[in-house]
Structure 1
Amino acid sequence: MMREIIEIDEDLCVGCGNCVPNCHQGALQIIDGKARLISDLMCEGIGACVGHCPTGAMTIEKREAEPYDEEKVMDKITAGGPRVIRAHLEHLRQHNQKEYLEQAEAYLEKRGIPNPLANQPQELHGHGGGCPGSAARMLRRAPGNEHPGPVAPAGQSAPAQSGELRQWPVQLHLLNPAAPYLQGADLLVAADCTAYAAGNFHRDFLKGKALAIACPKLDQGQQIYLEKLVRMIDESRINTLTVLIMEVPCCSGLLALARTAAGQAERRVPVKAIILSLEGEIQSEEWI
């Protein structure tokens, strides 16, 4: 049958193993120094592993493959114990895989295995879960109160400064792709650490741009990130996409995610990659 499934470019794969723990179906293993898809049956094609690949070796492609089999996956998952079962069920919840989640829970019930998510309310992902702090809003700046501000005299506190942030929220999971501040915007997608490494982050990188922040190593729901970026390109019609990351290998997963989104979108937008050193200096800057 035709379905979406992970494809691995062996020439790009360095065998780092970042993808393996992020495949909760156990479909990936490192064999002979390369990531391998060990079974079509166990790959559900969600692509949570894609954003964790620092070299862009992993993509989602539609091809002829054996149907995904949740029961065969659960045979392996349950052998790992309650923590592994919980991780798998939460993974299915986060990606809104209701059918597979129902199959997994039915598997546990049939065999008398405790369901670690029983009687727990489902968390909402990708839209803030109704938290007032995640409501989309434009930020207004007082005239003359621009970054950087005046230097305070010795012994006195500096006056309050306003940066270049134009909207709220900023975390990619909380951003609504239809928010007005994204319409036709130049979008900066920044790895979390970049604002701390670069002292002039607001002036040098954020000025005049909408902002989305994410961590390609620690954040869950990478497929949600991918879908949102595609929507921002196609529906919000962003003007340009700039990706700001650190030099560390895991950070490049964010760039790989942006490349994939730009490739999947119907519109074409210019994409710029900026890589910072650990000292916050620009190592490279190029349109890709």
Structure 2
Amino acid sequence: MKRKIIEIDVAKCNGCGVCIPNCPEGALQLIDGKARLVSDLFCDGLGACLGECPRGAIRTIEREAEPYDERRVMANIVRQGAGTIRAHLKHLKSHGEFKYLETAVACLKEHGLPIPELEDPDKQSGGCPRTLAKKLAGKPETALGGGASALRQWPVQLKLLNPAAEYFDHADLLISADCVAHAYGAFHRDFLAGKILVILCPKLDSDIEGYVEKLAEIFRRHEIRSVTVARMEVPCCGGTVAIVQEALKAAGKALEINIKTIGIDGEIQ
């Protein structure tokens, strides 16, 4: 079957092993000084290891692979102790993979093992939530007077977004350059209401190829209803549109891009 699975660029990999403990499923091992995917069966394709590679050697692709097997994964995980069990269940929960989570819990019950408590991401103290997706209530467009926020999810920076987050399902996307919200005073009311926000800077952010791939992964995984790009009038901000176009092309999607351009005087061009 064709499905999402990770791929390692061995030319970039320096064998540091940082990705290994971030794959509780046990799909990765260091072999001959390089990280290797040792079993398609153990890789769920959710990319817990992606953000941990300092060399950017890991990405998610779609290819023919054996179906992910949660029961076989659990048979491997239970041997590694309570800490690994908890990490795996938290991994599934944070990505919204509740069917796999139910199977994992069932396996623990069948073996008479305790079910670990999984902390609510909303109750975590300190640190950055990173890929822990949080859906917010937002405000209806009619209630956006007086500076009310229309934000519907957290995080919003593309670097931190989890492509598997459920709030992308059937979403209207607003992909905005960083400066737009500061330059255009009615950003929430006129642009953000009812949309899921993605922000980036095509000039100052370094991993543009990674941005294209992450956006492409969002387009592949979810049925996106519409895409609006908000950019500044300055030439370098045209890269915002180019990134989205490349991502749609990589994902094989044909969606019309609604472009909003803001002048440095704060007016819509």
Normalising by structure 1, what TM-score? Answer: 0.52
Write the letter of the residue equivalent to 1:52. E
Q: Distance in 2 between matches of 1:171 and 1:24?
A: 24
What is the SS of the residue equivalent to 1:47? coil
CA distance in 2 between partners of 1:186 and 1:122 (Å): 26
* Bigger radius of gyration among the two: 1
**Structure-1 separation of matches of 2:54 and 2:227:** 27
Name the structure 2 match of 1:11.
Answer: 11
Correspondence 1:103 to 2:95: no
After the TM superposition, which parts of structure 1 deviate over 6 Å for at least 4 consecutive aligned residues?
120-124, 136-139, 174-180, 228-231
How far 1:39 sits from its partner (Å)? 0.8
- 1:100–1:224 CA distance, 2 compared to 1 (3 A): farther
In the alignment, structure 1 segments of 5+ residues that lack a partner are: 141-165, 189-201, 214-222, 244-257, 270-288
Cα shift at 1:225: 11
Q: CA RMSD in A?
A: 4.8
Q: 1:240 to 1:45 in 2, by over 3 A?
A: farther
1:189-208 deviation line (CA, Å, top 9, x unaligned): xxxxxxxxxxxxx8xx9854
Identity of aligned residues (%): 37
Deviation, 1:224, is: 10
- Secondary structure (helix, strand or coil) at the match of 2:227 reads coil
1:57 counterpart residue number: 57
Deviation of 1:29 after TM superposition, in Å, equals 1.6
* 2-structure distance, mates of 1:261, 1:114: 43
C-alpha distance in 1 between matches for 2:54 and 2:113:
37
Quick one: distance in 2 between partners of 1:6 and 1:57? 10
Shift of 1:22: 2.0
Alpha-carbon distance change, 23 to 240 in structure 1, aligned in 2, over 3 angstroms:
farther
**Equivalent pairs, count:** 201
Superposition pairs for residues 135-284 of structure 1, below 5 Å?
A: 171-172=155-156, 183=174, 186-188=176-178, 207-208=182-183, 212=199, 227=218, 235-239=226-230, 263-264=250-251, 266=253
Higher relative contact order (CA 8 A, sep 6+): 1
Shift of 1:114: 0.5
Q: Which runs of 5+ in 2 are unaligned?
A: 124-131, 188-197, 201-213, 238-243, 258-269
Task: Measure how far apart 1:68 and its partner are.
Answer: 1.4
Residues 15 and 33 in structure 1, CA contact (< 8 A), matched pair in contact too: yes
2:191 matched to which residue of 1? Answer: none
Query: What's the CA shift for 1:70?
Result: 1.3
Q: 1:121 to 1:58 in 2, by over 3 A?
A: closer
Q: Secondary structure at the match of 1:60?
A: strand
Name 1:127's counterpart in structure 2: 134
What is aligned with 1:163?
A: none
* 2: CA distance, partners of 1:179 / 1:43: 27
